[in-house]
Structure formats: C-alpha cells, structure tokens
C-alpha cells in the first residue's frame, strides 16, 4: 500500500473513532455546530480515502466533491462554534447569509466536470492513482478562497476579542479553540505551497478533533446550567457559582453576579484568591463542607438582605468535578423566623414548666406499668431498672460516634426514647400465666414456648396503650423494643426469626443490656455470673447474637457497666 494511501485511510479511521468518542460524551448542552463538526470531519476525510481508491477520473472528481464539504461547510461550522464558545451572538440574517454563501459555493463545486465555474479544466496527474489531479481554477474558486480567508479571520478576531474583553469565558477553552484554527489555516494555505503530492488537511482535522474532545470534557465543568433550564437559571432568583477542587473560578449566572458584585471581578480559570473579600468569606465555608458535608448551609448578609448559600459538589457523569454554591434570597424567611422566635420565646417559657411536669408524670407512669408487670415475676427483681440504666450507658458511647449516629439516625430524641422504652421491653409478660411466670426453676420446652410469646404480646399491649399518643417516634420505638429484643443477628432468635439489619437498631441495643443483666444477676434457677465470664460470653456472641457493629460501644461502656453492677451488690 502506498504511503499516501496509508496516510489518508488512517486519517479517516482515526476521525471516525474520535467522532464515536464524541457521541459517547455527548449531552444536550453541546452546540449543534459542535456536533456538525464531528459529523463532517469523518465525511471529509472519507473523501480523501476515496481518492486513493479512485480508478477513473469520474471517481476522483466524486471524491474531490466530498472533500470540498470541508472547505464549504466544515470551516463555517467551526467559525459558528467559535462564536458560540466566545458567547458572541451573530444576527440571524448574517447566519443565514453565511450558510447561503457556503451552499452556493458547494453548488458550484458540484458542477466540476460539467461547467467551468469552479474548475475550468481538470485532468488526471502523473502521481499515485488519481490522487494528484491537474486543475485549472475557475472564477468561483477565487471566491471560495476569499470566503475561507474571511471565515478564518473572523474566527481569529472573535478569539482575540474574547481573550482581551470577556472575563466570564474560560481562557483554557479559548486557547484550545485557537490551536485547531491555526493548524487548519496553515494546512489549508501553506500546505499547498510545501507539497502538491498530498494534503495536510486530513491530519489537521484529526488534530482539531483532539482539541474539541478536550473542550467537550471541560464544557461539562464550565456549564453550570447542566441540570436546570437555561432561562430559569439566567433570569431566575437563584444564583449559581462554581469552582473546581483547586478553587479556580469556573463560572456563575447573572443572578449570582448581581447578588455578589465581587464575582464580576473574577476571571474564569483564575484562582478565587484574586478576590481577597470572597476568599475570606467562601473558603471557610468550603473547608467546613469538605470536613463535614452536613455543614452545607451558610448565610451571607448584604445590607439588610440575608442570602442563604447552599454548598454542594459539582457533578458530571456521576463524578465530582468541584463545588457549586447555590444562592437564594432568604430575607423574608429570616425576618419571619426572628419574629416567630421572639413570640415563641415567651410562649415556650410558659409551656416549658407544664410540659416538664407532664413528661415526668408520663415517664413515671411508664415505669410504674413496667414495675407492675415485673412484680409478678419473682425471678427478675430490679431487671427493668438495671437494663434501662445499662441502655443509657451504651447510648452515651454510641452518641460519641457522630458518623455511626448519623448513618443510623440516632439523635437526642432516639436516645431519650430508647431509655424511656427500655423498662417496657418485657411488658408482654402480663399475658403469661402466673403458673409459668412465677415458676421457681427452669421452664420445660412447652413452658418456654409459651414464655417466648411475651415479645409479640408486648408489642400488642404497647400498641393498644400508645395508639392515641402524639409521640409517634416513641410509640414505634417502644413497640420495636418489646417485639424484637430477643431476635438474633444470625436469625436464630424469636418471635420472627429476623436477622442482620432487619432487626431494628433499638432492639439490637436492648438485646445487649437484657442479656448482660441476665448473666450477671441472680435468678431463682442460677447464681450470678462473674464479670469476666459474662464479658467472655458477650464478646463471643458478637456477630451471632449481637450486632458486631455495636461491639466497640459495648467494650467502651463495659468499665462503667461493671462499676454500676458492683455498686448494686
């Protein structure tokens, strides 16, 4: 295969490959001119490949007509795309005129071999196959050159103007646009002077594709309208500002620039540090967000206005690309909240006293119910109080782990509810016959099966008692504690045989306190177990009976638990 043939065919194959990559990267915010460039480059390079296979003058002329799609339309689309990226809006009449001129030029190209408008005369050359043609140019070909030169010049002018005058356009993208423009210009005009055996243009088109693919990658970061309607973002009441992970400014919308005028002084791709005021304000917010993603909301006061700044990651294709600040006017809400707070402060002070009395009475009532049930069981004296205290000790350790608490939604309300619900975990024993409940010894298998029903019965009793309460979270948690505190992580527990994370977290915590107390406390059928032996059993049961994730909290709480039981002796 001849070297020229290899070159043209390779350029065609590579251009097709790059266009396929572009299709993979494509999303709706890419300019139509961008897509047309990637569509036309393989077609034009296909024309050069066709030329290498031409076995007749007619076939060579057909390939030449395909090649001229590049000169007539591809350069036009590149020029339009430069204006798009430079954010320079061309009037519709001018766009129509440019498309019309290019169309007329290509119409004259189609007359090659039939008229003398574009080529006065064309014959096969003496080179390899029909790659080299002897051409005598017609008058329209001169017009074609003039138009091409104009397209290149206006493209260069737009790039230079944007670089000098427009701060809100990425310098990186502008520089990448400049490279293929220069290479194409040199290949189109100087290439013909250097050699007439082959064209440099196929290689320049492939080089341009590489630059445009890099631009496509960056567009995804600079386009802050990626997940919203453009008009809403540009003219709405919400401001958007984006930075990359190096805190280089990526862009903003008009609303953000109106709210915070200092943003207008920033230049795309340049560090945020160039604005000392914004650096001191924004960087601490972003650093706090990096350390703890829950710290994503801050207030920004400008005069009498109060703006809410919501910090989040800037995403594209599921990957984090930087940070995005969403700015909304929260003045009315904050003033309303301030008014309500002032009004509520007095009201809360008045209600607090009465509420504390009611809560205390409610808690005492719950404990009284539990003690009433326990009074029927002569084998577990003090069990409900001790397990409740052990649950409180465990919760103190769990609450120290913020990450674990956040994952399992364990907060102050959860802590209060489970401590309050712990005494009720055996309330279902109220349904067990005295003959079994008060038996002074171990249960038979049949008696134990009856005894096991206390879990489900407890859930039913609590559901009936608490059904009209306003405290929905306590009601659900208390029922779960009573119902599932005998379930095991390996699924061998009762009454449902639940396993793993299907067991509510409150029941898993209750299980540790319940079993530990049973081990170290005296019962009618056994003596109390030494702390070290009880601890050995507890640790051996982690992952089987108990949740392995709670092991570290049990271990951390153990010194306090042992001290607590030592004081009870």
Half-sphere exposure of 505 (CA within 13 A, CB side): 17
Mean pLDDT for 53-73 is: 87
- The pLDDT of residue 353: 62
Cis peptide before 495 (omega within 30 of 0): yes
- Work out the number of other CB atoms within 10 angstroms of the CB of residue 150: 14
Query: What topology is assigned to 343-568 in CATH?
Result: Hypothetical protein af1432 (1.10.3210)
Q: What is the pLDDT of residues 543-558, one digit of tens each?
A: 999 999 999 999 999 9
Q: Which parts of 296-431 fold into alpha helices (H)?
A: 331-374, 383-398, 402-407, 412-421
First to last CA, the chain: 98
Helix H or strand E encompassing 80: helix 75-85
Strand partners, 271: 248
Which of the two residues, 52 and 568, has the higher pLDDT score? 52
Regarding beta strands 249-252 and 239-244, do their DSSP bridges make them parallel or antiparallel, or are they unpaired? antiparallel
Fold type of domain 3-222: Rhopdopsin 7-helix transmembrane proteins (1.20.1070)
Q: Where is 314: in which H helix or E strand? A: strand 305-316
Averaged over 97-114, what is the pLDDT? 92
Over residues 124-128, the mean pLDDT reads 59
**Which residues of the chain does CATH 1.20.1070.10 include?**
3-222
Given a cut of 90, is residue 390 above it in pLDDT?
Answer: yes
Question: What pLDDT does residue 472 have?
Answer: 86
Confidence at residue 369, expressed as pLDDT on a 0 to 100 scale: 65
Q: Using one digit for the tens of pLDDT, what is the confidence trace for 31-43?
A: 788 888 889 999 9
| Predicted confidence band of residue 339 (pLDDT cuts 50, 70, 90) | confident
Q: How far apart are CA 90 and CA 509, in angstroms?
A: 68
Residue 354 sits at φ, ψ, to 5 deg, of -65, -35
Computed over every residue of the chain, the mean pLDDT equals 84
Residue 325 tokens read as 């600040």
* pLDDT digits 0-9 by tens, 364-378: 666 666 666 655 555
Task: Return d(Cα 483, Cα 503) in angstroms, integer.
Answer: 10
504 pLDDT higher than 60? yes
Q: Is residue 523 classed exposed, middle or buried when 0-12, 13-18 and 19+ CB atoms within 10 A define those classes?
A: middle
Confidence class of residue 193 from pLDDT cuts 50, 70 and 90?
low
pLDDT of residue 228: 47
- Name every residue whose Cβ is closer than 8 Å to that of residue 425 and which is 6 or more positions away in sequence: 384, 387, 458, 481, 482, 485, 510, 514
More confident residue, 4 or 362: 4
Q: Which residue has 């250097």 as its token pair?
A: 194
Would you place residue 541 in the very low, low, confident or very high pLDDT band (cuts 50, 70, 90)? very high
Q: What is the fold of 230-329?
A: Beta-Lactamase (3.30.450)
Domain with CATH 1.10.3210.10 in the chain: 343-568
E strand residue ranges, 143-248? 239-244
Question: What residue ranges of the chain are covered by domains with CATH 3.30.450.20?
Answer: 230-329
Report the pLDDT averaged over residues 201-227.
75
Q: Give Cβ neighbours of residue 276 (< 8 Å, ≥ 6 apart).
A: none
Q: How many C-beta neighbours within 10 Å does residue 19 have? A: 21
* Distance between CA atoms of residues 335 and 329, nearest Å: 12
pLDDT per position as a tens digit, 150-190? 999 998 999 899 888 887 777 888 888 888 888 888 887 77
In angstroms, the Cα distances linking 140 to 9, 229, 507 are 30, 45, 87
For 262-307, write each residue's pLDDT tens digit: 888 888 888 988 888 888 889 999 999 989 988 899 888 887 788 8
Q: Please tell me whether the overall predicted TM-score, pTM, comes out greater than 0.75 for this model.
A: no
* 220-241 as b/e: b if 16+ CB within 10 A: bbbbbebeeeeeebeeeebbbb
Mapping DSSP to helix (H, G, I), strand (E, B) and coil, where does residue 530 land? Answer: coil
DSSP string across 34-64: HHHHHHHHHHHHHHHHHHHH--SHHHHHHHH
Confidence of residue 46 (pLDDT cuts 50, 70, 90): very high
């Amino acid at each position: 295969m001849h070297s020229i043939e290899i070159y043209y065919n390779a350029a065609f194959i590579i251009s097709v490959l790059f266009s396929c990559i572009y299709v993979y990267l494509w999303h709706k915010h890419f300019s139509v001119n961008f897509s047309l460039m990637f569509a036309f480059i393989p077609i034009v390079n296909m024309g050069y490949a066709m030329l290498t296979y031409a076995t007749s003058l007619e076939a060579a002329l057909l390939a030449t007509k395909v090649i001229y799609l590049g000169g007539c339309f591809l350069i036009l689309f590149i020029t339009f795309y430069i204006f798009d990226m430079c954010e320079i809006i061309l009037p519709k009449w001018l766009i129509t005129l440019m498309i019309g001129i290019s169309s007329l030029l290509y119409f004259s190209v189609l007359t090659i071999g039939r008229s003398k408008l574009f080529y006065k005369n064309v014959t096969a050359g003496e080179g390899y196959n029909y790659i080299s043609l002897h051409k005598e140019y017609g008058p329209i070909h001169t017009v074609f050159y003039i138009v091409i030169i104009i397209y290149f010049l206006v493209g260069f002018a737009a790039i230079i103007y944007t670089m000098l005058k427009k701060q809100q356009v990425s310098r990186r993208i502008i520089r990448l646009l400049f490279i293929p423009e220069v290479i194409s210009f040199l290949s189109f005009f100087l290439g013909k002077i250097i050699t007439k055996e082959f064209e440099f243009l196929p290689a320049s088109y492939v080089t341009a594709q590489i630059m445009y693919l890099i631009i496509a990658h960056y567009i995804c970061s600079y386009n802050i309208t990626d997940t919203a309607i453009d008009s809403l973002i540009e003219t709405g009441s919400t401001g958007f500002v984006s930075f990359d992970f190096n805190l280089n400014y990526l862009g903003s919308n008009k609303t953000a620039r109106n709210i915070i005028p200092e943003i207008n002084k920033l230049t795309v791709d340049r560090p945020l540090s160039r604005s000392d005021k914004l650096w001191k304000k924004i960087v601490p917010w972003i650093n706090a967000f990096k350390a703890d993603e829950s710290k994503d909301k801050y207030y920004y006061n400008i005069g009498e206005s109060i703006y809410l700044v919501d910090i989040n990651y800037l995403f594209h294709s599921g990957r984090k690309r930087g940070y995005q600040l969403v700015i909304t006017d929260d003045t009315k809400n904050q003033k309303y909240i301030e008014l309500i707070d002032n009004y509520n402060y007095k009201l809360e002070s008045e209600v607090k006293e009465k509420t504390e009395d009611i809560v205390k009475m409610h808690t005492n009532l719950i404990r009284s119910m539990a003690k009433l049930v326990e009074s029927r069981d002569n084998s577990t004296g003090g069990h409900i109080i001790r397990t409740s205290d052990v649950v409180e000790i465990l919760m103190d350790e769990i609450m120290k782990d913020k990450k674990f608490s956040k994952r399992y939604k364990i907060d102050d309300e959860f802590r209060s509810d489970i401590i309050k619900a712990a005494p009720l975990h055996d309330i279902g024993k109220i349904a067990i016959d005295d003959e079994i409940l008060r038996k002074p010894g171990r249960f038979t298998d049949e008696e134990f099966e009856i005894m096991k029903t206390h879990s489900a019965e407890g859930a039913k009793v609590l559901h009936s008692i608490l059904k009209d309460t306003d405290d929905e979270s306590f009601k659900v948690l208390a029922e779960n504690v009573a119902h599932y505190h005998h379930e095991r992580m390996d699924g061998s527990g009762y009454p449902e045989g639940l396993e793993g994370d299907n067991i509510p977290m409150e029941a898993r915590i209750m299980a540790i306190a319940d079993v530990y107390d049973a081990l170290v406390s005296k019962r009618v059928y056994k003596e109390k177990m030494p702390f070290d032996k009880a601890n050995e059993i507890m640790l051996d049961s982690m992952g089987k009976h108990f949740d392995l994730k709670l092991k570290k909290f049990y271990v951390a709480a153990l010194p306090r638990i042992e001290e607590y039981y030592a004081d009870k002796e």
